[in-house]
Amino acid sequence: MNKSAGAACLLAGLSALSGPRHGGATAALTRMLDDAGREGAEATMRAWLDRIGAVPGFGHPLYPNGDIRAIALGDAHKPDALVQELAEHVRKATGQLPNIDLGLVALARSAGLPADAPFTIFLLGRSVGWAAHAMEQALEGGLIRPRARYEGALPQA
């Protein structure tokens, strides 16, 4: 893989972040929390469920028992009362637990960071991983399809 192919890998990954899942989830969740501050967490959650059928920042198919990244961020930086209230209403209404998007928004709120900081933090982390993956594939001379199962102790929720 040459240098331009590595750059193309990063650009493709960054372009994919423009979607509503990870890329748009932190911005949507920030808007949702703004709404919740004015209209209440439960009413806002219900409105988002009625309108789009989901709540951004909750549920993750790889972490059905809770996103360990969100748990770790929550342990390091206690979410504010509004985030905690919203999380409780979503859990009760849908059974879904916070994912990394909520963890990053909660971190940004507790640290007084700009509204776009959660997205920036997420894309920086992903970019480092994509770059490492592209370099590893270049060294191996072919595609790498990692498969793994976590075997360590899980953080306590």
- For the stretch 73-93, pLDDT in tens is 999 989 999 999 999 999 999
Classify 89 as helix, strand or coil. Answer: helix
Q: Are 126 and 93 in contact (CB under 8 A)?
A: no
User: Residue 140 above 90 pLDDT?
Assistant: no
How many folded domains does the chain comprise?
A: 1
pLDDT score, position 3: 62
Contacts 24+ apart (CB under 8 A), 122-127: 122/17, 122/22, 122/26, 123/14, 123/17, 123/23, 126/13, 126/17, 126/22, 127/10, 127/13, 127/14
The domain that holds 94 is classified in CATH as 1.10.230.10
pLDDT score, position 95: 95
Q: Are 25 and 57 in contact (CB under 8 A)?
A: yes
Supply the range of the domain harboring residue 33: 18-124
Q: Does residue 119 lie in a domain region?
A: yes
Q: Are 126 and 17 in contact (CB under 8 A)?
A: yes
Distance CA 46, CA 152 (A): 37
pTM, entire model: 0.81
Distance between start and end Cα atoms, the chain:
42
What are the structure tokens assigned to 60, written together? 């993750």
Q: Does residue 69 lie in a domain region?
A: yes
